[in-house]
Amino acid sequence: QVQLVESGGGLVQTGDSLRLSCATSIRTFSTYYMGWFRQAPGKEREFVAAINMDGGSTYYVDSVKGRFTISRDNAKNTVYLQMNSLKPEDTAVYYCALRWGVSYSDSRGQYAYWGQGTQVTVSS
């Protein structure tokens, strides 16, 4: 099994920071793109950020640019999402995902494996 386990979510106030972690069981972790998605109540799951194999290229949805940073530690088979200046609009369940392809994608359908999600709630 390919397992992805998110952690680090919680209840915070507007302006606070959180760092989400996604630990994986993927032996060849460094050969895959990784992504973060989120799903708010009543809304579709949406792309948040992605990172390429060696971490040299990152991608973000416009609404989080300048506030969120995706990174990875290939030695630990882990991807992170640093979330700063959080807003109530960021409230959602956050999921990490793995893409088998060798190029960037912001489409849910292009990611093959998903974690169970971690809840982020930002109060105002």
Q: State the Cα–Cα distance between residues 42 and 24, nearest whole angstrom.
A: 28
* Burial group, residue 100, by CB count within 10 angstroms (0-12, 13-18, 19+): exposed
Q: State the Cα–Cα distance between residues 120 and 103, nearest whole angstrom.
A: 28
Whole-number percent of the chain with pLDDT over 70: 100
Q: Give me the pLDDT at residue 27, please.
A: 84
> What confidence tens digit (pLDDT) does each residue in 52-104 have?
999 999 999 999 999 999 999 999 999 999 999 999 999 999 999 999 877 88
Q: State the Cα–Cα distance between residues 41 and 47, nearest whole angstrom.
A: 15
